[in-house]
Structure 1
Amino acid sequence: MVNPPPPPRILGESSSFTAIHTYRLHSKGLVSQELIKDDTMLVFGLGLSLCNSNDDTKLEISKARRNQKLAQKLARPEAAELAALIHGLEWALQLSVESIQFFCDEDSIILAYVTRKATPNESTVSELLERVFLLQTRFKSCQALDASRDINSSVFKLAKDAIASQTRWCEGDTEYETCPVCYSYVSPNDKFEVRGCFHRICVTCMRNPFSSEQILRGNTAICPYPDCENDLVPEDCRGFADANAITIMIQRKKEKSIPVKDRVYCPNPSCSFLMSDLDLIKHVRNNNPRQSEARKCMECGLSFCKKCHVPWHNNKTCDEFKKSESYLKSDAALFMSFVKTQGLKKCPQCQFTIEHGGGCKQMTCSHCSHEFCYTCGAACKKNKKLTCECSRSGK
């Protein structure tokens, strides 16, 4: 049987959609507080995706309503999600779909509502849920399933795009949007949409996270939207940050992906490459117990001891090697001599070199977050109190 032609993309137009297959519906409803000129307004946006399970024909809709009463009614996330689902089911019925599966976020309570495993307490949510139940009875087959956040990301973006389309206005022939960070009126072309949270920030404000001391110290750069904690993606930021800041961001992202106990840094001062010990162990072919700490840098090729962070000392203990002439002449020994003369210390957990900037001697390593006494190296307790007798002020 030949499949029917794809139905129109615009909701409301008449269409014939022969229902011989099960269709998949993804929906997302959002209510966002947006700054439009000098006014803060609530905007409702929805994204819908209807897919033919037989030939993967996909139809998408993005709609927004700048209606304060509606937006206030749908302000609760569950209400916005159910409203979008209602739009999607009505759309499918208008297209003559008879068999449908609709998907809810795996971490959302909506799936529990529509499968009657949970009952909402809020009246608006209850009313919307009843409409969903009525619409389900109009299909020959209607099934609710859970979907991962990745699968629903496309309709999430459609909903955000719908909201963004309502934040613009024209003055003459020029279109403007308000930046929610600096409140300036800027062209939509001069805004950057942050991946993940989809906040639209002007290019000038996007540069701020990279001019702060935080990124220079290696901390994660986050979206400058007020109270947003979404990490910026290094690859997206090359237009705002210099190469050094991008390198630091990539390093911090890599550190986050490796558990603290598995982080290993190459002891070569000119390398300091970060690696996962689990990956390094795979390349250790010698099963001699005395060489169980032997590692080889995946960047510069240096063979080194994981325990004492010096070049590998075959047939010697760590203490014996540090007294040998070959070590005393090595770059590692010269660097350690510099560290001592400058009053620097190494983190007891990850061996990263740390400088004390003055004040309290209770330190937190910027690389592994280990908390310890800068004077003697003793670790802090779980309540973040020092376990040693050293003075916190170091006096």
Structure 2
Amino acid sequence: MKEEGTLVRAHDLKPSPSDMYMLYFKGLVSKAETAELLAGFAIAILDQDENLLFQMKGPLHGSDVITDLEAELMALKLGLTRAVSMGITHLSICCNHDEIFELVMGRSAPALLMDDVQRIRQQLTSTIPVLVTDQNHQASFVTKLAMEAIDSEITIRMSSMTCSICLNNNFKAEDILISSLLCGHRFCKECVKRYIEVKLLQGGVPRCPYYQCESTLTLSSCASLLITPRLQEMWEERIKEESIPMADRVYCPNTNCSSLMSKTELSKYTIQGWCCCVKCTIPFCINCKVPWHDNMSCNDYKRLMGTNLTTEDRKLNLLANRLMWRQCEKCKHMIERSEGCIHVTCRFHHHILNHFN
């Protein structure tokens, strides 16, 4: 973590070793979805008459700053270090964070960062933890400074941001969407919106569009894109589809439904192959994946349908033969190779080679 704050001497006063001084500190983590995970800090040291001696603000750099608590502890560590360097020996540590106050008081199991805090405290003659409210003027002051530090860092980062899809780098912060807090890749909202729609229509679950990045996009992280109810429903369906193993997937044969279910889910309601769709309740055969064939075995039904294809089935077979469509042996979906080599992957990532020779 690199200390990069601006130090301002408000009063050129030499601290007295016998006086009590007050340390106010604040660590914040940015929750904005338009920027990377950023953290900022601010500290203010005052004398017993509340004259401001020092104030400092700046970003907290480093992957170890990931929570508000850790940011607060780093701000406290910086404040104590500054107080020691100023020659202060008596200090009131003003906390407006209950958990930090408990840690400083020693009433809570210490975090790893607290080891550094306690070591620095030992260099002072006395330190007194004081719990203050957010309404406290000085606490509000350092919070405002910490927010300014984060805003400044966002402005700096924005000047070098480029959408990884359209390569545009001339946009406002509100036009940027960060795909995931884990990867930090940034894109134009419109680019991500179009990508999500295409990905869902192709039958996939949207992930970070960046090349070879596997970070997952979520509905909540894309809330600002105003995804339509239809796409939301499709997204939830794709997530459910991906969570069910291929061999366990069952689709309702009703053309007006096609709801996704799992064999495990249906097994408790299945009687000798007969079961009902959990959505439309129409009965079907779980073995043949077709509407229920009453008083007929599965083999008899397949023989009958093999010689008595419906008009729609005949048209589909003719079209498939003419356009050289092939059926994936595993997922049974029809696949078209419009161009490229014979190595084709279906929407469920099964590889198909020989069918297109």
- Counterpart of 1:101 (choices 84, 89, 109) is 109
Q: Offset of 1:255 from its aligned partner?
A: 1.2
Distance in 1, matches of 2:148 and 2:317, equals 56
Alignment of 1:294-373 (within 5 A): 294-324=274-304, 328=308, 333-343=310-320, 344-357=325-338, 363-366=344-347, 368-372=348-352
Equivalences for residues 132-211 of structure 1 within 5 A: 134=119, 163=150, 166-168=153-155, 179-181=161-163, 182-192=167-177, 194=179, 196-197=181-182, 201-210=187-196
Q: How far apart, CA to CA, are the structure 2 residues paired with 1:161 and 1:318?
A: 71
1:217 and 2:202 are equivalent in the alignment: yes
Aligned residues: 267
Go from structure 1 to structure 2 and tell me whether the alpha carbon gap of 1:305 and 1:252 turns closer, same or farther (over 3 Å shift). Answer: same
1:256 Cα offset (Å): 1.7
TM-score of the aligned structures, taking structure 1 as reference length: 0.50
Give SS of 2:240's match. Answer: helix
Write the distance in 2 (CA, Å) between the matches of 1:322 and 1:311: 12
Percent identity of equivalent pairs: 25
Q: Alignment partner of 1:249: what SS?
A: helix
Are the aligned partners of 1:262 and 1:276 in contact in 2 as well (CA < 8 Å)?
Answer: yes
Superposed displacement of residue 191, structure 1? 3.8
Q: Is 1:64–1:166's contact at 8 Å kept on the other side of the alignment?
A: no
1:233 lines up with 2:213 in the alignment: no
User: What is the alpha-carbon distance in structure 2 between the residues aligned to residue 321 and residue 277 of structure 1?
Assistant: 21
Post-superposition CA distance 1:180-203 (Å, at most 9, x none): 314534333444455655766443
**What is the CA RMSD across the aligned residues, in angstroms?**
5.0
Q: Distance in 2 between matches of 1:322 and 1:161?
A: 71
Gap regions ≥5 residues in structure 2: 1-20, 43-55, 80-91, 96-100, 124-145
Higher relative contact order (CA 8 A, sep 6+): 2
Matches of 2:153 and 2:114, distance apart in 1: 27
Q: Distance in 2 between matches of 1:250 and 1:360?
A: 33
Aligned partner letter, 1:295: C
Q: 1:87 aligns with which of 60, 74, 85?
A: 74
Counterpart contact for 2:175–2:188, Cα < 8 Å? yes
Contact 2:250 2:289 in 1 (8 A): no
Q: Which has the higher helix share?
A: 2
Deviations 1:336-361 (A, max 9, x none): 43442222444333333433446655
What letter corresponds to residue 279 of structure 2 in structure 1? E
Shift of 1:257: 2.1
When the two structures are superposed, what TM-score results if normalisation uses the length of structure 2?
Answer: 0.54
Q: Residue by residue, what CA displacement relative to the aligned partner does 1:105-135 show, whole Å, maximum 9, x if unpaired?
A: xxxxxxxxx4xxxxxxxxxxxxx89726726
